[in-house]
Each structure stands twice: as structure tokens, then as C-alpha cells.
Amino acid sequence: MRILITGAAGMIGRKLAEQLAQIGRLGDQAISVLTLTDVVPPVVPAGFAGLLELDTADLATPDEATRLIAGRPDVIFHTAGIVSGEAESDFNKGYRVNLDGSRLLLAAIRQEGQAALYRPRLVFTSSIAVFGAPFPDTIDDDFLTAPLTSYGTQKAMVELLLSDYTRRGFVDGVGLRLPTICVRPGIPNKAASGFFSSIIREPLAAREAVLPVSGDVRAWHASPRAAIGFLLHAATLDAAMLGARRNMNMPGLSVTVDEQIAALRRVAGDGAVQSIRREFDPTIAKMVDGWPQAFDAARALALGFRADSSFDEIIQNHIDDEMSGSIAKVAEAT
Amino acid sequence: MRILITGAAGMIGRKLAEQLAQIGRLGDQAISVLTLTDVVPPVVPAGFAGLLELDTADLATPDEATRLIAGRPDVIFHTAGIVSGEAESDFNKGYRVNLDGSRLLLAAIRQEGQAALYRPRLVFTSSIAVFGAPFPDTIDDDFLTAPLTSYGTQKAMVELLLSDYTRRGFVDGVGLRLPTICVRPGIPNKAASGFFSSIIREPLAAREAVLPVSGDVRAWHASPRAAIGFLLHAATLDAAMLGARRNMNMPGLSVTVDEQIAALRRVAGDGAVQSIRREFDPTIAKMVDGWPQAFDAARALALGFRADSSFDEIIQNHIDDEMSGSIAKVAEAT
């Protein structure tokens, strides 16, 4: 089985590549070729027994997608894109990368299938940013996509393309609306949602974190580990179970900032919590106010997608996956 | 005030141009320039006192939109597009005309505004085809857009662009999801919904009509006259009343085919009804089965959009507007 990952240098793409390289299979099939592409060179994942192809490409440049699809990957994980903050600050770049890049990828798949049958599973990372206020406390599977960011608009447009290309038989698409990913490892990115991760990640590393919103702000979270689980599950789902609606809200945890902090205290102690400095930022608070807080992800749950079981588990996953389990000492050092 | 109509040779565009030419004003402002454009030469509307510009352009050709927008129209009615049947049979043409043409128009407006402030009202004719089964008996303003046609996909994508361009301040957009337009005048087009009109129009003209579905099929209708009313109302609505959600379900009448026929009998007598020949077509019946049947168009009603009051009125409007009121003789002749 051949697998292509776009955005392979991004956080999700990199973790997915690492996991696929280690397990060497997807469902019941061995992975023969793993192709990683991004606009910057992807990192080599450890332990892959098959053929690893590292590629650097801008998908929004004509013919790049055609070249990548010529290898006829059986499964494509399309995670490439720029984040919400950048899509908002650079209007043209957002549409070029997030919309046109995805459209060229779909067009290349369709083109490849015109000569001889080709209909790969395409797993697309969409986002709960396709929703915009006002919405009910809990968003269900039938709620309209009315985004309030250019990023969310681009994701919603690609979702529509994905469904139509699938309906026409050109691709076998599944779009996953990922929750806010928490705890994001590494350094802060341009997303306004960054503080949800930094108030956990930074204290665990004995660094100060700034909390720009009040403690009762509620959001919809999934760990990187849960997100990778969604992607792998989507890649092997029976298409017959999906029907015409190919884009789904993913399960997650609806927790407040105060609940996040309480979990941090349980896992890492008071010392860690004391590294959080409250500094209200009205701009961020206003943005966050327009974001979804909770979902009834009934459809995804029925299809077997599984969220983290608690925010304590999310923190513990971060410690295990990113800090080699070494939390206790670090937290005590604060 | 300058007005531009795209798709001005189409049914909606032509009727809109005729009405604007006759009344010579929009809201409380006189129309100084009326520009009509389409891929085929638009018909000259009667009685316009201002400057009439007739234009032939393919909006999906780069620079055509730029040329049209250089005149800085204050209001743009964007009705251009190919219909559902053609967008389904010619995949590339559908995306090129319905999506890329609209996107180039929006880009041209944004570009025009970069030199000096320019933020025209853009009224876009979307469609209830943005919805796809399964849906509740009555669709409300918060229901998701999950189209089951390429046409509906393209309309939903342009809606998203329209909202985002509006949110960013590049245009002042309003998207109207038109019901099935009934009674469509003229000859049948490539839309699978054509029979809803032909079972009224043809008998009134003493011609046979074929009914391919059962009498209990329910659909959401508006007359051409009501549709033009929606467009004119959308052009003058106070933007402050609209908020971030710029696309709206239009009001209409939810009637069954049997109710349509009963209205035809009341208006034109038994002779007209006898011109309807029932010939079941499983393909059309299956398509129609996936179409919306009724809406709770609460938001549009609150904003002052008004539907026809009865299907009898829809038929009478057709007789008045398209047959110079001469129904009785024609119907008696059958």
C-alpha cells in the first residue's frame, strides 16, 4: 500500500508520519511506500521498513499535485495548509494555499483516474473553524457552516469540493473537523487558540504561560494522539458506512480553562499552576467568544471515532509523548 | 446610481432588467447607468431613460470582470451561471462558470477597492440546491448545506466566498437561496425541475405537458415576480440588519403537485388540467426525492422578503406577465 501525506512537516503530518513509519501498516495492509511532502523538507521518521520518499512541493503550484499523484497513492492524508492567524493576515496566501492547493490536488486525482480507474481514499483535515457564532451550546451534525474567519471559509469550501468529487466518483473522501488540538507541542504558532496549549505546555516545562481569557471560557479539545487516531480510523473506514455526507465533526472534550487548570494541578501539582499568569487580552477574548464550545458528535462516535477520556489524560499523553514521561521533576523544579 | 446585472440574458436577469428599466430607480435613487452583461447578447429592455450599456462577456475569462467593475457600479446583481442539469453533465464548465466566474467577479471588486474606497452591494442568486437529503420536513435557517449536485456545491462555495469577502470589507454581499422558480416562462431548460413549470405553462398555452412524478411530490416554489421582488429588496436592505450571515433561505410556497393541479383547475378549468399526461420517470422521481420540500424562512421574513400568497396567484401572475392576461380563451380552446 502506498501512502502520501501532504503537510508532512506540520505538527499533525509529522506525528502521523512517525506513527505510520513505526507500525508499518494501515489497517491490515503493509505500507510499501510512504511519501512525505511539504513546502519545507519533512523530517525523516524513524523505523520505516518500506520505501520512504521525501518531497518538497508547493501544492498550489500547477503540476506539483499531478507529479505527486502519478505514483497513485492508495491513501492520501491531506493535512497541508496555513493556520488561521496567517490566513487572516494574508488573504491571498490563505486562498492560494488552503483552497487552490486542495483543489489542484483533487483535480490531479480526477485527472489520474481518467486514463485508468483510480479512486484513492483522501483524508482531509478540516476544522471546527467552519462554524461561527451564533450557535447553540452544543452543535450537532446538522448545523450550518457559517465561518467567521477566512481559514474556516477555505476549509468549508474544500469540504464541499471533497463531497462533490466523492459523489462524482473521482475520489473517496473523508473530511474531519478537528477540535482545537491541545496540547500542541513545540513553540507557539500563529493561531489565536495557542494559549489553550501554552497554559499546559509551558508550566510543565517550568516556563511561564500567559492566560489572556477568563477561566470560564469553554472550548472543544482533542490531543494530538486522539487526532492521529481520527486520521488512521478515517483512512480505513468502510466507505459504505459514510453515505453522501463526507465531512464530520470529530469527538472531543468540552472543558473550561478552569477545568484545564484543575487537571494540570492534579497531574503536575500547584507549582505548575503558579506558572500561569493571567493577563486579559480583549482582542483574543472576543475572537474566542465566537468559537464552538461543545459538540454532539453522534455520527462520528457511531462510526467509531474516539476522543480522549479526560483532560488529565490529554496532559498525561503530552508528558508521555513529548517529555519522555519526565513531568514530575520538571514541575517540582518550578 | 449605477447598476450592473450579470446573466442579464437569463430568465431572472432579463426580468430584473425589464423592471429596473421601467421603474428607473432602485429604492429612493434614480438609475443613471444600467449595464447588462451575459455570454450571449442581452435583450434591450423597454423604456429606460438613463444610459443603457449592453455587454457580452464570459466572466470566467480573466480581466472581463475587471473591465466591468471599472465602471464602479453601486449595485451588482450577480445572476450569471449555468443551470443544474448542465453543471452535472459538464463538470469542468460548471466549476468554471459558477465558481471561478463568481470568484473573479469578487476579486475584481476587491481589486477595484484597493485604489479608492469601493464596496458595492452585491446580490447573488443562490439556490435551495445547496441543501441535500436527508433533511427535516421543514428546513430552518441553521440547517447545514450538504448539496447533492455540483450546481448546489458551486452555489454553496460562492456563498462562503460572499460572506468572507463581506466580513473582510471588500464587498457588501447578500446571497438569496431562491426556491424553485415556477412558472418559468419560455421553453424548457436543462433543469430536472422543469416539469413543475411545464405542467402549468403548457396547459395554459393549450399544449400537452408530461408529469414524471406522483401527485404527492412536494416542493418549495416562488414565482418569477416574487423572485424579482427578493432581488430588489436585497439590493436596498440596510446592511446593519444583516449581520455576518449573508446568505438566506427565501420564503416560498410549499405545495404538492396535486395542489398545483388543483390551482390550475381553479384558475383555468378542467380543460387545462386534461392537458397533463402522467408518465412516471423513475430517474426524475429519484432526483426530486432529494430536494427540499419546505422551509421556515423566519430570518428572510423578518427582514421583509415576501413570497407569493397562493399558488393560484402564481398562476395568475404568469397569465398576466407572460400571456397578456389571455388565459381564458386559450384554456377554453383545449
**Average confidence (pLDDT) over B5-25:** 97
pLDDT confidence of residue A163: 98
Nearest by CB to residue B145, choosing from A144, A150, A167, is A144
Mark whether B8 and B147 lie in a shared domain. yes
* Structural domain containing residue B238: 2-178+223-249
All three cell numbers of B42: 442581452
Question: Is the CB of B150 less than 8 angstroms away from the CB of A156?
Answer: no
Q: Apex CA A332: angle with CA A327 and CA A333, to 5°?
A: 100
pLDDT of residue A143: 98
Mark yes or no for CB contact B156/A161 under 8 Å: no
The verdict on A169 and A243 lying in the same domain is yes
- Summarised one tens digit per residue, pLDDT across range B304-321 is 999 999 999 999 999 999
The DSSP element (H or E) to which B127 belongs, if any, is strand B121-127
Identify whether residues B213 and B233 lie together within a single domain: no
CA distance B31 to chain A (A): 34
Q: What are phi and psi of B170, to 5 degrees?
A: -85, -25
B154 phi and psi angles, rounded to 5 deg: -65, -40
Describe the crossing of helices A224-236 and A311-322 by its angle, rounded to 10 degrees.
Answer: 90
Q: Which residue in chain B has the smallest CA separation from A88?
A: B168
pLDDT of residue A27: 94
pLDDT at A115: 87
Of residues B188 and B235, more confidence is placed in B235
CATH code: domain of residue A279: 3.90.25.10
Q: Any chain B CB within 8 A of the CB of A146? A: yes
> B36 with B7, same domain?
yes
Residues of A whose CB is below 8 A from B163: 146-147, 153
Looking at the structure, do residues B11 and B156 belong to the same domain, yes or no? Answer: yes
Distance of CA A10 to CAs A67, A69, B191, Å?
A: 21, 20, 44
In-domain check, residue A9:
yes
- Is B239 found in the same domain as B119? yes
- Note whether residue B126 is domain-resident: yes
| pLDDT per position as a tens digit, B135-172 | 999 999 999 999 999 999 999 999 999 999 999 999 99
Which residues pair with residue B37 across a beta bridge?
Answer: B6, B55
Q: B47 exposed, middle or buried (CB, 10 Å; 0-12, 13-18, 19+)?
A: exposed
Q: Which amino acid is at B260?
A: Q
Name which of B204, B191, B197, B177 is nearest B267 in CA terms.
B204
Domain membership of residue B235 (yes or no) is: yes
pLDDT band at B334 (very low <50, low <70, confident <90, very high): very low
For residues A60 and A35, the answer to whether their CB atoms sit within 8 Å is: no
Q: Which residues of chain A have pLDDT under 70?
A: 189-190, 327-334
> What are the beta bridge partners of residue A195?
none
Q: Which of A148, A161, A245 sits opposite B146 (nearest CB)?
A: A245
Q: Does B171 reside within a domain?
A: yes
d(CA B154, CA B87): 9
CB contact under 8 A, A160 and B157: yes
Query: Can you name the residues that pair with A255 across neighbouring β-strands?
Result: A219
The count of residues in chain B is: 334
* Interface test mutation site (partner B, options A160, A246, A286, max chain B beta carbons within 10 A): A160
A151 is catalytic: yes
Q: Are residues B86 and B208 in the same domain?
A: no
- Specify the 3-state DSSP secondary structure of A88: helix
CA dist B229 → A291, B232, B305, B315 (Å): 36, 5, 8, 17
Do residues B195 and B284 make contact, with C-beta atoms less than 8 angstroms apart? yes
Report yes or no: A54 at the B interface, CB cutoff 8 Å. no
**A62 CB neighbour count, 10 Å cutoff:** 11
- Does residue A186 lie in a domain region? no
Spatial distance between the Cα atoms of B13 and A127, rounded to a whole number of angstroms: 37
CATH of residue B68: 3.40.50.720
Count: domains in chain B:
2
The dihedral of CA A5, A6, A9, A15: what is its sign?
A: negative
Residue A121 lies inside a defined structural domain of this protein:
yes
Letter string b/e over residues A269-289, b meaning 16 or more CB atoms within 10 A of that residue's CB: beebbebbeeeeeeebeebbe
Nearest-CA distance from B203 to chain A in Å? 37
Cell numbers for A160: 464541499
In a domain, A138, yes or no: yes
Q: Alpha-carbon distance A178 to A231, whole Å?
A: 10
Go through chain A and tell me how many residues it has.
334
- Give just the sign of the alpha carbon dihedral B95, B96, B97, B98: positive
**CA end-to-end distance (rounded Å), chain A:** 48
Q: Return d(Cα B135, Cα B246) in angstroms, integer.
A: 22
B28 Cβ partners below 8 Å, 6+ apart? none
Is residue B55 in a domain? yes
pLDDT in tens, B62-102: 999 999 999 999 999 999 999 888 999 999 999 999 999 99
Q: Which three cell numbers stand for residue B29?
A: 435613487
Burial A217-253 (b: 16+ CB within 10 A, else e): bbbbbbbbbbbbbbbbbbbebeeeebeebbbbbbbbb
CB contact under 8 A, B147 and A168: no
Report how far residue A120's alpha carbon sits from residue A69's, in angstroms, rounded to the nearest whole number.
10
Task: Please report which helix (H) or strand (E) contains residue A84, including its range.
Answer: helix A84-89
Grid coordinates standing for A157?
Answer: 469550501
Strand, coil or helix: what is A319? Answer: helix
Q: Which residue has the cell 453601486?
A: B74
CA distances B236 to B45, B74, B228, B232, Å, are 22, 11, 13, 7
Minimum-distance CB partner of A148 among B148, B161, B167: B167
| Co-location of B169 and B285 in the same domain | no
Residues A49 and A166 in one domain: yes
* Distance (Å) from the alpha carbon of B143 to chain A's nearest alpha carbon: 5
How many interface pairs between A and B have CB atoms less than 8 angstroms apart?
Answer: 57
Chain B contact present for A109, CB below 8 A? no
Task: Output the average pLDDT for chain A.
Answer: 94
Percent of all residues in chain B with a pLDDT value above 70, rounded to a whole number: 97
Residue A21 one-letter amino acid: A
* Alpha helices (runs of H) in chain B, residue ranges in sequence order: 11-23, 64-69, 84-89, 91-94, 101-115, 150-167, 194-204, 224-236, 257-268, 270-273, 282-289, 298-302, 311-322, 327-333
| φ, ψ of residue B293 in degrees (nearest 5) | -110, -30
Note the pLDDT tens digit of each residue in B170-219.
999 999 999 999 999 988 766 778 999 999 999 999 999 999 999 999 99
Which pLDDT belongs to residue A333?
46
Q: Which amino acid is at B258?
A: D
Question: So what's the ipTM on this one?
Answer: 0.95
Note whether B133 and B280 are same-domain residues: no
State whether A263 and A132 are in the same domain.
no
Residues A144 and A280 grouped into a single domain:
no
Identify the pLDDT of residue B190: 66
